[in-house]
Amino acid sequence: MGSIVDQLSGEPLRSASLEVRNTEIRGPAGDDGRFILPPMPPGTIALQIVHPGFEPRVEDLDVLAGQIVDVRIGLVASSTHELEPVLVRVRSRILESRGFYERQSQGYSGIFFSRKDIEERDPRNVSELFDGVPGTRLVPGDLDGPQIVFTRAISMRDSGVCRPALFLDGVKSQIRLYDMILDPMHIEGIEVYVGAGVPGRFNDPCGAILFWTR
């Protein structure tokens, strides 16, 4: 998926003609310059774009297994030959289908961890991912590992903390032994909502932690 725009103005180019070379895949972009290619096997494809009054362009794009690549390709007028790099944004198909990016773009007051974020932190266990996350605290446990609490009481008896709701692949779980039931290698994304502002069906007075597995 992606968009075709005027390189200089950034305005979308409607109805540009697209073709994946050496395939039968071809057709026009939409009136807003957007296009979606059908699923293809992993590898590199050559995407050719043609629009009247602009220089034709061929871009080599990497198709990645299990991921959606969102590209923004600029065309230049026939009198101009300078091209800027293509902007590529890689998204997880799993997180796309579960509304992760939609909630992230809608401005919910959550903290979002993608698979890339998790790999960069390289945690030994799940609870390590929450070290330093605003509004959270790790309470030491025994062999079961630490418990994750939010520093927001919902009654006078909570001593300044409360236990967030835990959702695993969209299903609410009463088990909060994070390090016992989850492995960082199996997590595709995490959403952390402290207190109010939890979206829709994940709403809880204390807040919620959403785990999405691979």
Beta strands in 76-173 (DSSP E): 87-92, 110-113, 136-139, 147-150, 165-168, 171-173
* Radius of gyration (C-alpha) of the chain in whole angstroms: 22
Q: What pLDDT does 80 receive?
A: 53
Domain that holds residue 181: 98-213
Same domain, yes or no: 122 and 206: yes
Q: What pLDDT does 158 receive?
A: 60
pTM exceeds 0.85: no
Domain final residue pick, 37, 62, 92: 92
Same domain, yes or no: 111 and 85: no
The per-residue pLDDT string of the chain (214 residues; one tens digit each, 9 = 90 and over) reads 788 999 888 889 888 899 999 988 888 888 888 988 888 888 888 989 999 889 899 989 888 887 877 888 998 888 655 566 766 667 888 899 999 998 888 878 889 999 999 999 999 999 999 988 989 988 887 666 788 889 875 654 566 788 899 999 999 988 777 888 889 999 999 999 988 678 888 988 889 999 999 8
Beta strands in the chain (DSSP E): 2-6, 17-20, 26-28, 34-35, 43-50, 57-63, 67-75, 87-92, 110-113, 136-139, 147-150, 165-168, 171-173, 187-194, 207-213
Nearest to 131 by CA among 121, 145, 119: 121
Residue 204 belongs to domain with CATH number: 2.170.130.10
Query: What sections of the chain are H helices per DSSP?
Result: 93-97, 100-105, 115-121, 178-181
| 112 close to 100: Cβ distance less than 8 angstroms | yes
For residue 204, give both structure tokens.
């809880």
For residue 91, give both structure tokens.
């998204």
Same domain, yes or no: 209 and 106: yes
